[in-house]
Amino acid sequence: MNKLEGYSKFFVGFSIIVLLVLWVRLAYIQLYASALKERAEQYIVEKKVVKPPRGLIYDRYGNILVANEPAYDIMVVPARLKIEDTGFVASLLGLTIEEFKQRLERARQYSRVIASPIVSAVHPDHFQRVQTYLSLIPGFSFRKGFIRKYYNKHLAHVVGYMTEVSREDIEQDSFYMPADFIGRTGLEHFYEKELRGQKGMRYVLVDAFGRERGSYADGKYDVQPVPGKSLHISLDPDLQSFASMLMAGKRGAIVAIEPATGEILAFVSSPEFYLDSFWHRNRSSYYLNLLKRPDKPLFNRGVSAAYPPGSTIKPLQTLFGFKMKTISYYSSWYCPGAWIRGSLTVKCHGSHFLPSPQEAIQYSCNSFYCELFYKALSRYPKGHRLALMQWNNFLKEFGFGRLTGIDIRGEKPGLVPDTSTYDKMYGKWWKPTTIISLAIGQGEWLATPVQLAVYVSAIANGGWFVQPHFVRQIDNEKPQWEKYKIDIPKADLEHVITGMKKVIESGTARIAKIPDVEWAGKTGTAQNPHGEDHSLFMGFAPLDSPRIAVAVMVENGGFGSQWAAPIASFVVEYYLKRTIDSSRLWLLNRVKQPINYEQ
């Protein structure tokens, strides 16, 4: 058996030394550090968060588009609060008495003795009035903050709005504290992490009355805030305003892209709303009203609204016909005014005598495309399943049926049907004639305006496109955007582009002719079972070196040539020439009229 006597002397020595060191330190702090003690008696150290300024947004020409304006947070220390007239104070803060009590309770839960915001981002105009009254009431104090200032009135769906953070936001991301603001839609949401910057921290001495008495330890422990990064975006502000003006009083969207870069020049979703109102005193009631309106101004039609693309995809179907070798440059069929197969009839806009592929685009001949699509699907016996998948893949290459990756919130992928879509609808028993409406862009096929703009820029570029985007630069960093190549013969494309040129020269969109500008496009009409059809147009200009590709959608606008084509032509004309030719002013006046949705 081993022998162990007594205790470990090292252990006891160690323990005694540790206790002695702690005791001496204690004595030093409590008895001898008198300076420390005096400071402690007079002041307390408080930790104050310093909010960084949010990143600015510049337009394509380097001018400021969105900036910050100083605003004020009204802070409250519940323990010090002495209110005589609750109703008056609540109304001064723009709250109801219930809301005011709720917020006071929230502040009380956070701390009774540390100031926390009760109302944040108070506009400076309003703040002056508030300050004169509230500074007389003990318990209220003020803190500097920021609100957004917009230099263009038509940014609602691009920049997006901001609101106060919710409880979930705070739980998910420790960056946020009550009364902070967070981007909810658009660029403000997509680039929230870049724009928000990093918070700073200040240690300040506060006296017994809660007044600040200078910084602690000369700011040795302070952490400086890091301002948010600036965004340099590709928007052309004048074009944006002009395009918004064109869409006033209508529901719909305009997306204009620079084809070579994928940069978005103008992006309108109508009706719009006012971002400034999201910083006003009664912002919550403004927001609730927007939610209630039947024309859904908060719905971003440019990226979230998917409609059947209608005849705008006829150039694409032509390319598919070339690829599948169901047509050549010289094919033609007689169109008696409808396409008839068994009991099925698809109406055309008129009777066309032996249209060539180019003429079929020019006059938007439905019969031609039904025949083309039917032949492609029934090329091999029972081969329509395979052919539909080929068609599906071909469309996906042009950006249909998937997210384009645009850098704002709320994008929908639309839908390009494949065999499984129809298996679900009809079982296995569907035939080429069942799905013939796809030939003319109707039926289950759904596309968003931004997808149409991407597709037309792919044609304009000659077989490739860049992921559409707003942001060219974040501070000094250039984000990388995806470039997609499409395997398609140049000659096919040129053939189709000539057809699209004829659409404007002497086809369905003659009305969209612009003096001295050669350009190409295609009208479309999305069938709408609930009312008037939607008017569509897509095109690009100029023909030889495209600088702008545009897609326009006007809800319940009827034929493409009625609203969408002229609107697109004005967007193109304004961007290229910065003016509107006097010979077209009558048309501009007609297009500016609102559409009456009451009926």
Partner 1 sequence: MVVNRQRMDWIVFAIYLILAIWSILTLYFIEVSSGEFTGVWQRQAIWLAISLVIGFIVLMIDSQLILSFAPLFYAVALLLMIAAIIQGQVVRNIHAWVVIGGFRFQPVELAKVATALMVARWTARRKPSAITAIKGSIWAVIPAVLALAQKDWGSAMTFAAIPLALTYVGFPVFLIIAGIGLYIVLLVVIAGYIKLLLILYGIALVVLLIVFRKQREYIKYIIGVVLVVTGMTLSMEWAFTRVLKPYQQQRLKVLVGQERDPRGAAYNVIQAENAIAYGGFTGTGLGKGFFTSFKFVPEQKTDFIFCAVAEETGFIGSTVLLFLYGLLITRMLLYVSRHRSPVIKIYAHSVAGFFIIHLLINLGMVLGLLPVIGIPLPLFSYGGSQMLSFSLMVFIYLNFSRERYTLLH
Please give the angle made by the CA atoms of 548, 357 and 568, to the nearest 5 degrees.
Answer: 25
Taking the complex as a whole, how short is the minimal distance between the CB of residue 135 and partner 1, in angstroms?
23
CB of 220 to partner 1, least distance (A): 8
**Quick one: 205 or 576, whose CB is closer to partner 1?**
205
CB closer to partner 1, 15 vs 135: 15
For 535, list phi and psi in degrees, rounded to 5: -95, 130
Tell the smallest beta-carbon distance from residue 37 to partner 1 (Å): 5
Our CB check for partner 1 shows the closer of 3 and 292 to be 3
3-state helix, strand, coil in the chain (%, to 5): 40, 20, 40
Burial of 118 (0-12, 13-18, 19+ CB in 10 A): buried
What are the b/e assignments for 6-36, b being 16+ CB within 10 Å?
eeeeeeeeeeeeeeeeeeeeeeeeeeeeeee
31 versus 136: smaller Cβ distance to partner 1? 31
CB closer to partner 1, 40 vs 389: 40
Of residues 36 and 389, the one with the C-beta less far from partner 1: 36
Question: φ, ψ for residue 330 (rounded to 5)?
Answer: -115, 5
**Cβ 22 to partner 1 shortest distance, Å:** 5
Of 571, 598, 570, which is closest to residue 586 (Cα–Cα)? 570
Q: H/E element holding 37?
A: helix 34-42
In whole angstroms, the minimum distance from the beta carbon of 42 to partner 1 comes to 11
Tell me how far apart the alpha carbons of residues 446 and 464 are, in angstroms, rounded to a whole number: 22
Please give the structure tokens belonging to residue 47.
């930790």
Contacts of 119 (CB under 8 A, 6+ apart): 73, 74, 93, 94, 95, 103, 179
**Residues interacting with partner 1, by CB under 8 A?**
2-8, 10-12, 14-16, 18-19, 21-23, 25-27, 29-31, 33, 36-37, 39-41, 44-47, 111-113, 198-201, 203, 216, 221, 223
With respect to partner 1, which residue has the nearer C-beta, 41 or 84? Answer: 41
Q: What angle do CA 575, 474, 153 make, to 5 degrees?
A: 45
10 vs 429 by CB, closer to partner 1: 10
- 182 membership: H or E segment, kind and range: strand 181-183
Shortest CA distance to 206 belongs to which of 76, 49, 46, 77?
A: 46
Nearer to partner 1 (CB atom), residue 3 or residue 428: 3
Q: How far is the CB of 486 from partner 1 (least distance, A)?
A: 41
Q: How far is the CB of 99 from partner 1 (least distance, A)?
A: 25
CA atoms within 13 A on the CB side of 184: 16
Token duo for residue 429: 């028993």
**Distance in Å, CB of 208 to partner 1, minimum:** 9
| Min CB(169)–partner 1 separation in Å | 18
Distance CA 143, CA 115 (A): 10
Residue 437 CB, shortest distance to partner 1, in Å, is 53
Closest CB to partner 1 among 23 and 61?
A: 23
Query: Contact, 269 vs 251, CB < 8 A?
Result: no
Interacting residues of 323 by C-beta distance below 8 A, sequence separation 6+: 394, 488, 492
